[in-house]
Amino acid sequence: MQRGGRSSPRNAGKVIGLQELQAMASHAATVPVNRIWVAFFSPTLVYKPGSNTFADTGMETGSSAVDLGFAEVKAAINTLEDNGVEVFLSMGGWNYNCFPALYTRYSIGGYGDHTPNYWKIQEYGQGNIDNCNEENMWCWSCEPQSEGTTLDSFSIFPEPKAADTWEVAKKYIESNAGGKTPEWHSDVAPGESWTDSKTGTQLKVPGSSKPNDMGRDPYVDFVSLAKDLGASGVDLDYEEFWHADYFKSGDASGGPWELDQTIYKYSAIAKDLVDAIDAIAPDMKLSTAAGAVGAWDGKWWGGNLKGVWLKAKQWFPDVMSRVEINVMTYDLSSNNDYYECPTADVCALDEQVEFYMKTYRDQGFSANVGYEVGQPAYPDPTHDKAHQLPLTEGKLTSILSKTQPQHPGGFFWELYKDNAGEATATEVAQQLCKSVLGDAPRCSGVIPAVGPSPSPPPAPTPAGDKFKCSNDQCVSSSGGVSKEICESICGSFVL
């Protein structure tokens, strides 16, 4: 099955995500993809079934509607689904994974000045990790300064404090753990203060405290949200490098180390999602965005998530058999001064993609190949653009001819990204579609242009009318308030 790019209503710097989704929906019968991921939702979202709003979900559509675009997104999803395009909701993504203070100190600074991003500490922190603080966003390691991020731009995946569903997932992990004894860290709670015991520094943990404040499980709420939107599935995009480097175990004198605790955390989240699907929407699917090194069986020297998906599959096969693996074989580098090439003679993009996908094949995964349109995010284009590995038309052809035929599908990031002179999203989509789906008519379609999104007409509300939520129902003082407004706020309507 060929996978489409991710549609991003949360695109930083431009409020066109909803328009993108609507453009795809308006051409749903002919777009050259058969799945779209709508990204990204916050790991600390709160969603009450039937509430029909994006409030407290982290999804920013740019809609002025009282439901923050929920009804508009649902309509687009329904149209896409009716025309053979599956829609998944994706939780996570890079910003919804990064803990700036810990990522900089332990994933970058923790391995000395020979790490590829250490230049940020040198440039913005004068070479001293202690000079990286919130004012300089801990030396701009999660996002460049140009993005204008604040701590509220980030989140981490929580370990819910008061959710029975999470406790069930933890017990499953504890009963099947194949490495070190599982340790849980609910004290690293989003939106709350936490003290780094290694430095004594008090930090605010990125993310919202609402799930813990309300005793909710955001992973269960996420499945309910997907069900109410009519989506085919949910996606777990987990990239917490900081967690692996902070909670690593092994040879303290210099490695190699184990990242067992991160494997347990990831697998517990996946288990919680699987259980929620079984309880709420049994036909729903679960996918995950996996790291390129995620199936590589070898010693871990820190700084990435090497082997996480391999160990999760070995230790928790009942869970991982339910998860579709989409491998992020992009944002790779050819700078071997930092051992960026998997072996000295495997540095070109198509060579690295084949190397990493082979590790998944060798470990028995049925995994999909990842492609990236335009300029990669890594290495930083302002610092080491020479070692970036963009998807040129030639490399696209090479990957499609050598690696893609050995895998069930492929996906690309992202639908409306500027191609920066490389292969366009339509070219990637069409060629990937033909490689996987053959003569399917949609493979000749294009990614449609984005037009202006018309504003929905205001719902008529009598002058002086008032309404309020009571027991999660919308109560109107006159009986004339718009049913749509009430339903978007409270999820139901009564006179």
Query: Using one digit for the tens of pLDDT, what is the confidence trace for 45-82?
Result: 999 999 999 999 999 999 999 999 999 999 999 999 99
Residue 11, pLDDT > 80, answer no
Q: Categorize the per-residue pLDDT at 457 as very low, low, confident or very high, splitting at 50, 70 and 90.
A: very low
pLDDT digit string (tens) for 172-206?
Answer: 999 999 999 999 999 999 999 999 999 999 999 99
Strands 285-291 and 323-328: parallel
Q: How far apart are CA 126 and CA 256, in angstroms?
A: 29
More reliable by pLDDT, 366 or 253: 366
The chain-wide mean pLDDT, for the chain, equals 90
Q: Categorize the per-residue pLDDT at 4 as very low, low, confident or very high, splitting at 50, 70 and 90.
A: low
Residue 462, pLDDT > 60, answer no
Q: Categorize the per-residue pLDDT at 469 as very low, low, confident or very high, splitting at 50, 70 and 90.
A: very low
Domain range list for the chain: 6-98+155-444, 100-153, 459-495
Q: Categorize the per-residue pLDDT at 251 as very low, low, confident or very high, splitting at 50, 70 and 90.
A: confident
Predicted local confidence at residue 481, as pLDDT: 41
Predicted local confidence at residue 16, as pLDDT: 54
Predicted local confidence at residue 210, as pLDDT: 98
Whether 249 and 180 have beta carbons less than 8 Å apart is answered as: yes
Residue 480, pLDDT > 70, answer no
Q: How many CB atoms lie within 10 A of CB 339?
A: 14
Predicted local confidence at residue 1, as pLDDT: 44
pLDDT digit string (tens) for 20-36?
Answer: 999 999 999 999 999 99
pLDDT digit string (tens) for 340-354?
Answer: 999 999 999 999 999
Residue 270, pLDDT > 70, answer yes
Predicted local confidence at residue 253, as pLDDT: 82
Whether 83 and 24 have beta carbons less than 8 Å apart is answered as: no
As beta bridge partners, residue 35 has 86
Q: How far apart are CA 463 and CA 478, in angstroms?
A: 10
Residue 7, pLDDT > 70, answer no
Give the pLDDT mean for 453-460: 48
Whether 121 and 127 have beta carbons less than 8 Å apart is answered as: yes
Give the pLDDT mean for 246-259: 93
Share of the chain above pLDDT 90, in %: 86
Instruction: Specify the range with the lowest mean pLDDT, choosing from 16-20, 371-375, 391-395, 443-447.
Output: 16-20
Q: How far apart are CA 280 and CA 49, in angstroms?
A: 10
Q: Categorize the per-residue pLDDT at 486 as very low, low, confident or very high, splitting at 50, 70 and 90.
A: very low
Q: How far apart are CA 30 and CA 118, in angstroms?
A: 46
Closest Cα partner for 107 from 296, 297, 243, 236? 243
Q: How far apart are CA 367 and CA 358, in angstroms?
A: 10
Residue 238, pLDDT > 90, answer yes
Using CA atoms, how far residue 281 sits from 37, 364, 379, 405, in Å, is: 18, 28, 40, 32
Closest Cα partner for 83 from 18, 8, 9, 33? 33
Instruction: Specify the range with the lowest mean pLDDT, choosing from 122-131, 434-443, 459-468.
Output: 459-468
Predicted local confidence at residue 6, as pLDDT: 55
Q: How far apart are CA 22 and CA 87, in angstroms?
A: 13
Give the pLDDT mean for 218-223: 98
Instruction: Specify the range with the lowest mean pLDDT, choosing from 5-9, 233-237, 287-291, 427-431.
Output: 5-9
Q: Is the domain defined by 6-98+155-444 classed in CATH 3.20.20.80? A: yes
Whether 374 and 427 have beta carbons less than 8 Å apart is answered as: no
Q: Phi and psi dihedrals of 348, rounded to 5?
A: -65, 155
Instruction: Specify the range with the lowest mean pLDDT, choosing from 316-330, 391-405, 456-470.
Output: 456-470
Give the pLDDT mean for 464-488: 47
Give the pLDDT mean for 77-95: 97
Q: Kindly report the CA angle at 364 between 358 and 367, in degrees rounded to 5?
A: 65
Q: Categorize the per-residue pLDDT at 2 as very low, low, confident or very high, splitting at 50, 70 and 90.
A: low
Whether 99 and 190 have beta carbons less than 8 Å apart is answered as: no
Predicted local confidence at residue 215, as pLDDT: 97
Helices H / strands E in the chain, number of each: 17, 15
Q: Phi and psi dihedrals of 5, rounded to 5?
A: -75, 170
Locate all alpha helices (DSSP H) within 230-348, ordered by sequence: 241-246, 260-280, 308-315, 317-320
Whether 345 and 280 have beta carbons less than 8 Å apart is answered as: no
More reliable by pLDDT, 417 or 473: 417
Q: Categorize the per-residue pLDDT at 3 as very low, low, confident or very high, splitting at 50, 70 and 90.
A: low
Give the pLDDT mean for 402-408: 98
Q: Categorize the per-residue pLDDT at 451 as very low, low, confident or very high, splitting at 50, 70 and 90.
A: confident
Q: Phi and psi dihedrals of 87, rounded to 5?
A: -125, 130
Give the pLDDT mean for 232-243: 98
Whether 268 and 170 have beta carbons less than 8 Å apart is answered as: yes
